[in-house]
């Protein structure tokens, strides 16, 4: 009986060289690789935003000349398409053509205001 038990344990047991060992995972290496990939994606996104390609990607000749908010989700737009300009009203649901401008509209340059001077004037008035 002992002999049968000895032979069965030899033939039916798994040898030690065939036992799979759990893979050793270096957690710090995995985390550092993950952080590197995330930082690389963020850096590439920032570079794309800073480049001229990021600013003009997909516009293809459409340019917003001026925009004025009329409400929370409504605005009035002057859009240039090629050489022609259009006055548009944009809401959250739709965009309506108000007028096709006969003469090109140029926004008036805004003069820069020195905040310190304006504040000093307001303080003198009081």
Strand order across the beta sheet in which 62-69 lies: 62-69, 75-81, 84-90, 95-101
Residue 5 structure tokens = 């038990």
Q: pLDDT tens across 8-30, in order?
A: 665 555 555 555 666 777 888 89
DSSP string, 53-100: HHHHTTTTTEEEEEEEE-SSS-EEEEEEETTEEEEEEE-SS-EEEEEE
pLDDT for 89: 94
What is the pLDDT confidence band of residue 62, given thresholds at 50, 70 and 90?
confident
Comparing 6-15, 28-37, 51-60, 107-116, the range with the smallest average pLDDT is: 6-15
Cα gap 65→58, rounded to integer Å = 17
CA contacts within 13 A on the Cβ side of 81: 6
pLDDT for 26: 86
pLDDT for 7: 58
Distance of CA 36 to CAs 7, 26, 40, 97, Å? 55, 16, 6, 48
Between the ranges 31-40, 102-111, 112-121, where is the mean pLDDT highest? 31-40
Domain chopping of the chain, boundaries: 61-101
């Amino acid at each position: 009986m002992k002999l049968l038990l000895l032979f069965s344990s030899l033939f039916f047991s798994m040898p030690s060289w065939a036992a799979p060992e759990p893979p050793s995972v270096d957690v710090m290496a995995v985390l550092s690789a993950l952080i590197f990939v995330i930082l690389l994606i963020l850096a590439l996104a920032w570079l794309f935003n800073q480049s001229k390609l990021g600013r003009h990607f997909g516009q293809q000749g459409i340019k917003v000349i001026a925009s004025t908010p009329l409400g929370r989700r409504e605005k009035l737009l002057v859009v240039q398409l090629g050489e022609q300009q259009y006055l548009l009203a944009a809401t959250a649901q739709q965009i309506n053509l108000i007028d096709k401008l006969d003469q090109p509209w140029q926004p008036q340059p805004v003069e820069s205001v020195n905040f310190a001077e304006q504040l000093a004037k307001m303080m003198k008035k009081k």
